[in-house]
Amino acid sequence: MQSTDKERIEIFKLKVIEWYKKYGDTYLPWRNTSDPWALLVAAFLLRKTTATQVVKVYEEFLRRFPTPESLLEADRYIVEELMRPLGIEHQRSRHLKELAEHIVRRFGSKVPCDKEKLKELPGVGDYVASEVLLGACGKPEPLLDRNMIRVIERVFGVKSAKKRPHTDPNMWSFAKMLVPNNLEEARIFNYGVLDFARKICTAKNPKCIKCPIRDICCYYMLVANPKP
């Protein structure tokens, strides 16, 4: 029996949430904080490195620099030394200090809970702004990156007309419609889609055979397991 679009969306949310609770990376510390500064720090540290590497640095970084002011006042060499295990420490340190300076000078040391204001911060685009809104501001926003886009396109058979789908307002609207209104569920759902995309619905050779949502997936029905 064909499920309706509404039913498919509900099944998708439920299955992703269930999957994340069993197999997701729930231990990542930046997924368990509501401190907007900590979320920004994590987003900057995670660039061009792995979560495993960042876990080793993140907590010590926040212990030493728990606020934008403390980072702004810190000696640049001490900041770089702390981030050396992640690589590109000069660039990382400079970007984080610029971020801290902007928060202190422009927003009186308080990270704003407003998407447009967040995007005024250097190095903050739609995705990082959404991470802060979702994790610290009580707003059930989608974390739309290329991984989430891939899953959405495959499961729902939609395709962005833009070359850079993560800048497509239609994709943002579609993704927003998928996010549960309940904040806790919204967080679990978003983190679930990201992990699911990395571990199951991979860019190459998706693991459709062990996928819990294959029954509602357009890609599975049309490409991976077409009916004769």
Stretch that binds ligand SF4, among 33-41, 49-57, 63-71, 209-217 (CB under 6 A): 209-217
How many residues bind ligand SF4, per CB under 6 A? 15
CB atoms within 10 A of CB 110: 11
- Least CB distance to ligand SF4 at residue 143 (A): 17
Contact 109, 66 (CB under 8 A): no
Q: Which is nearer to ligand SF4, 57 or 213 (CB)?
A: 213
Q: Which is nearer to ligand SF4, 63 or 210 (CB)?
A: 210
What is the footprint of ligand SF4 within residues 143-182 (CB under 6 A)? 151, 154-155
Work out the angle at residue 193's Cα, subtended by the Cα atoms of residues 206 and 21, and round it to the nearest 5 degrees. 105
- Calculate the CA dihedral of residues 145, 168, 95, 81 and round it to 10 degrees: 10
Confirm or reject binding of residue 211 to ligand SF4 (CB under 6 A).
Answer: yes
Residue type, 80: E
Structure-block tokens of residue 176: 């927003």
Confirm or reject binding of residue 16 to ligand SF4 (CB under 6 A).
Answer: no
Q: What does the alpha-carbon distance between residue 8 and residue 147 come to, in Å, rounded to a whole number? A: 19
Residues near ligand SF4, by CB under 6 A: 151, 154-155, 200-201, 206-208, 211, 213-214, 217, 219-220, 224
